[in-house]
Structures are given as structure tokens and as C-alpha cells.
Amino acid sequence: MPDRSTLLRVEHLRKVYESPTGDVEAIGDISFTMDAGELVCIVGPSGCGKTTLLKCLAGLLRPTSGVVEMDGAPVTGPSPAMAVVFQEYGRSLYPWLTVRGNVELPLRHKQLTRAARNKLVVDALEAVGLAHAARSHPWQLSGGMQQRVAIARAVAYQPDILIMDEPFAAVDAQTRADLEDLVRELHASRTISVVFVTHDIDESVYLGQRVLVLSTSPTWVQEDLAIDLPPERDQITTRALPRFTELRTHVYDQIQRAKRGQAVAPRSAR
């Protein structure tokens, strides 16, 4: 039986893509659990199956075998308890809707009064620092601001878990740092659980309470690392800590081992 606070349970997840040119085993055998309120980063070499894993978690892709459970119930399709933020913010927002309209759209599927919906939208836009841009259209905003709109839309939906797939890969370094801090702030202030997929080692260590290091494809969890940095983090002080350097060096080393095929898979994943 899962622990009471277990939000997400992944057990022996395997995913094989079938294609006319041959099957691709993207995920070999992945198992992990996540407690409610955690911020877990998933990091691994390019092509190792991060997006495949995330799609299985979000119910967008059916696993070949294994279990994904949310709150004790199997995930069989997209669930209102989950919201996903993708890397390609440009394609995830509707250009003909205003910022406000984009954030409000998914809420139309919820049984809410107009006043309650309005409050959620205003509140989410304030939380991401975009209250002033509610009437703008996405194409009038910078890339970083567009990704804030996507985050506001996810937060307004009030999911139990926010799943983010390399959400800041396409923005500049300064914007990325600001958005990382926004995620930490939202996680802390809204007690929302976050799964954050990234290929950026420093980002995973800066953001995460835990970092799952994935092996190369067919993937398994090479390491489940607790990030014992202080909970209050900021871009300058935290990244200057000797422990931050130790942790990022450790994760880097694990990924290099994964790439060289030096990590040994558990028997169940072979």
C-alpha cells in the first residue's frame, strides 16, 4: 500500500514505440514515488526518454507495461489533477486570445461561477507578475513573458501536480533564472507538487528537493538524489555554495557515466 502522502507512484514503467522500421525501447524500467508537495527534477542525457516518461505520467501516452498511479488511482488519460507546461510556449498559447483569455480557457471546463473564474485568472496573473499584461496578446510579449502566461494558465487550473517539460530551454539565461525562481516561489507559496524535466544539471540542482538521474535509453533511474541545500535559495548565494558545486559535479559525473554506458542497470531493468 502506498504511504498516505504518496502522490505519484511509478512502478516498472516500460515504453516501447512500435514503428514499421523497428521497435524503439525508450523506457526500460522506471520506478519511483513522489510525495505530495515535493519538487522533483528529472535529468538525463538527450534522447534518454524524459519526454516519454513525462507523457506517460501525464496520461498522454499509454505505457507498454507498468503502473502510473496518482493518489492511488491508475492514470489512464489526461487528468484535471495535473497541468503540463511544455517547452514550446509559442505553440501552446492561442495567438487570437488575450493573455487573460488564454489563462481562462481551460477553466471553462470547470463548474465555476464567472466571479470565481475571474478571481483565479487575476490571482494567477498576479502570481506570475503579469497582471499588467492581461489585455495583451501573446505575440506582443517576450518569450519569457509568454512562458509566464503558460505557467499562469497551469496554476489557475489548480492542479495537484504541475509537470514541466524543459520549460525554460528556449529563453535567455537571465529570463531563465527569473523563471526558475518563479517556480520555486509558486511551489513554496501554493504547496503545489512539481515534476520538472530538464537536461540542465545546474538547473536541476538549484530547483529540486530531489533529482532523479536517468540512464540512457532504454531508461531506468540511475540515481535518486536528495538535494540537501537550504530550502531558501537564491541564484547568487545558493549557486556559490560549495555543496551546490559538489552536487552538480556529482550529477554531471553520473550523466557522463550514463553516456559512456558505465552505469549498471538493476536486474529488473536488464
Chain positions contacting ligand ADP, by CB under 6 A: 17, 19, 24, 26, 44, 46-52, 217
Cell representation of residue 222: 540511475
The CA distance from 253 to 263, in Å, is 11
Q: Report d(CA 198, CA 201) in Å as an integer.
A: 8
The span from the CA of 159 to the CA of 83, in Å, is 6
Nearer to ligand ADP, 88 or 178 (CB): 88
Name the residue nearer to ligand ADP (CB basis): 104 or 166. 166
Write down the least CB distance from residue 52 to ligand ADP, Å: 3
Among residues 193 and 217, whose Cβ is nearest to ligand ADP?
217
CA distance 260 to 105: 46
Per DSSP bridges, beta strands 193-198 and 39-43 are parallel
Q: How far is the CB of 143 from ligand ADP (least distance, A)?
A: 20
By C-beta, is 38 or 166 nearer to ligand ADP? 166
Strands (E), 144-218: 161-165, 193-198, 210-214
User: Closest CB to ligand ADP among 53 and 152?
Assistant: 53
Smallest separation, CB 5 to ligand ADP (Å): 28
For residue 6, how many other CB atoms are within 10 A of its CB? Answer: 16
Residue 50 beta carbon to ligand ADP: minimum distance, rounded to whole angstroms: 4
What residue type is 131 in one-letter code?
A: A
* Least Cβ distance, residue 73 to ligand ADP (angstroms): 25
